């Protein structure tokens, strides 16, 4: 099968960073008379309930869906595909606008309550009580924190983090309860201005552009699943997370990789989707990294489940956290010893699930 290779992954966070490396490659491709097929991650300002135009993607799973589309386009003969997303959550909206646009299930059913209901359904299936859930959520936050505080800045032309660009740790108010199950630090923090680009090319074009192979990362596998509906009426189906298990298994089968085995062996990196604790808990279970939730504290003491610090600390601009994760994973694989990286995307309350495996070539 034709290989789809990521040749550039750039971003700006709160206007710090540069995207010039990717823009320069795009200009070189167009100068050869080649088209670049663009895929767009839609911003918060787009009506959540409107139809998705072709090659536009919406929800937290959108970047993984776009990656699957990019891989398919390359296999079908496209030479270059660009995934781009931008959302100026911090500076581009008033507080009132953000709250209105984020109320995707209606003003009377906020996301925090929706995720609380989802978590309660999930807990009933696991025979765990709320107190134990809160203990496990704290273990997750400590895991994110350790990664966030120890994360290496990305360098060179990546347009990535620097120590001065890293937001401070949350203040005391963020540790107060928001609902019966969640504190502020357990929830996604969207307050960041984000812009990112991911350029994917065919192997033939990589050779033509003379891009060094050690600067490329292969899209090895992508698994997607979508339930028929989202929101309050579909919580019971979402909370089973069978569709997440199917997406994970599809991705690993496509890639020919036993991710759980490689991760435990220290040869793989992971960026789980951390919008609320129930989501990474479910991922750890369905992936086989843990069998039951009571194994989580020991597992989290030995393994990082994000490379960024998660959406809680690295922050996540609405539909773009998985794009941020893909960009981060590209650079971590290029710079580190590990060979495999997995990025998870969760759409809506969880009705869309996507899993992508990237591999160093």
Tell me the pLDDT of the chain (361 aa) as tens digits.
789 999 999 999 999 999 999 999 999 999 999 999 999 999 999 999 999 999 999 999 999 999 999 999 999 999 999 999 999 999 999 999 999 999 999 999 999 999 999 999 999 999 999 999 999 999 999 999 999 998 755 544 544 455 445 667 899 999 999 999 999 999 999 999 999 999 999 999 999 999 999 999 999 999 999 999 999 999 999 999 999 999 999 999 999 999 999 999 999 999 999 999 999 999 999 999 999 999 999 999 999 999 999 999 999 899 999 999 999 999 999 999 999 999 999 999 999 999 999 999 9
Q: What pLDDT is stored for residue 359 in this prediction? A: 98
Q: What is the C-alpha separation between 330 and 340, in angstroms, rounded?
A: 10
Q: Which residue has the tokens 């998985």?
A: 322
> Are the C-beta atoms of 351 and 227 separated by less than 8 Å?
yes
Q: What is the C-alpha separation between 110 and 87, in angstroms, rounded?
A: 21
- Run of H or E including 343: strand 340-347
> In the structure encoding, which two tokens stand for residue 325, read together?
């994760």
pTM reported for the whole predicted model: 0.96
Q: What pLDDT is stored for residue 102 in this prediction? A: 96
> Are the C-beta atoms of 345 and 63 separated by less than 8 Å?
yes
Q: What is the C-alpha separation between 245 and 285, in angstroms, rounded?
A: 9
Q: What pLDDT is stored for residue 156 in this prediction? A: 41
Q: What pLDDT is stored for residue 11 in this prediction? A: 97
> In the structure encoding, which two tokens stand for residue 268, read together?
């793989």
Q: What pLDDT is stored for residue 150 in this prediction? A: 87
Pairing status of strand 340-347 against strand 352-360: antiparallel
Q: What pLDDT is stored for residue 159 in this prediction? A: 44
Helix ranges, 49-110 (H): 62-75, 95-102
> Are the C-beta atoms of 211 and 7 separated by less than 8 Å?
yes
Q: What pLDDT is stored for residue 168 in this prediction? A: 79
Q: What is the C-alpha separation between 274 and 133, in angstroms, rounded?
A: 15
Q: What pLDDT is stored for residue 310 in this prediction? A: 95
Q: What pLDDT is stored for residue 154 in this prediction? A: 53
> In the structure encoding, which two tokens stand for residue 88, read together?
């100026």
> Are the C-beta atoms of 63 and 323 separated by less than 8 Å?
yes
Residue 11 — φ and ψ, nearest 5°?
-160, 160
Q: What pLDDT is stored for residue 316 in this prediction? A: 87
Q: What is the C-alpha separation between 45 and 119, in angstroms, rounded?
A: 28
Q: What is the DSSP string of 9-47?
A: EEEEETTBS--HHHHHHHHHHHHTT---EEEEE--TTS-
* Residue partners of 127: CB distance under 8 A and separation at least 6: none
* Selection from 183, 194, 214 nearest residue 119 by Cα: 183
Residue 89 — φ and ψ, nearest 5°?
-60, -40
């Amino acid at each position: 099968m034709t290989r789809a290779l990521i040749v550039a992954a750039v971003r700006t966070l709160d206007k710090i960073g540069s995207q010039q490396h990717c823009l320069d490659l795009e200009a070189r491709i167009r100068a050869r008379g080649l088209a670049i097929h663009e895929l767009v991650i839609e911003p918060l300002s787009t009506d959540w309930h409107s139809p998705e135009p072709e090659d536009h993607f919406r929800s937290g799973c959108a970047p993984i869906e776009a990656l699957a589309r990019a891989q398919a386009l390359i296999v079908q003969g496209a030479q270059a595909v660009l995934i781009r997303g931008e959302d100026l959550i911090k500076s581009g909206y008033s507080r009132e606008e953000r709250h209105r646009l984020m109320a995707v299930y209606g003003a009377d059913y906020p996301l925090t309550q929706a995720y609380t209901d989802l978590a309660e359904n999930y807990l009933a299936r696991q025979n765990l009580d709320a107190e134990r859930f809160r203990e496990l959520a704290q273990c997750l936050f400590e895991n994110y924190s350790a990664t966030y505080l120890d994360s290496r800045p990305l360098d060179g032309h990546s347009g990535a983090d620097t120590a001065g660009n890293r937001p401070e740790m949350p203040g005391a108010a963020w540790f107060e309860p928001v609902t019966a199950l969640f504190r502020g630090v357990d929830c996604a923090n969207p307050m960041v201005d984000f812009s990112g680009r991911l350029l994917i090319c065919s192997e033939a074009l990589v050779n033509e552009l003379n891009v060094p192979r050690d600067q490329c990362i292969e899209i090895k596998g992508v698994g997607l699943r979508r339930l028929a509906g989202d929101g309050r009426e579909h919580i019971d189906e979402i909370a089973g997370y069978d569709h997440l298990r199917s997406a994970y298994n599809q991705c690993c089968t496509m890639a020919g990789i036993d991710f759980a085995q490689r991760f435990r062996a220290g040869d793989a990196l992971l960026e789980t989707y951390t919008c609320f604790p129930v989501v990474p808990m479910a991922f750890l279970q369905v992936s086989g990294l843990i069998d039951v939730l009571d194994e989580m504290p020991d597992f989290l003491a030995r393994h990082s489940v994000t490379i960024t610090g998660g959406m809680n600390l690295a922050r996540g601009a609405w539909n773009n956290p998985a794009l941020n994760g893909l960009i981060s994973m590209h650079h971590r694989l290029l710079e580190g010893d590990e060979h495999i990286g997995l990025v998870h995307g969760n759409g809506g309350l969880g009705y869309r699930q996507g899993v992508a495996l990237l591999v160093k070539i």
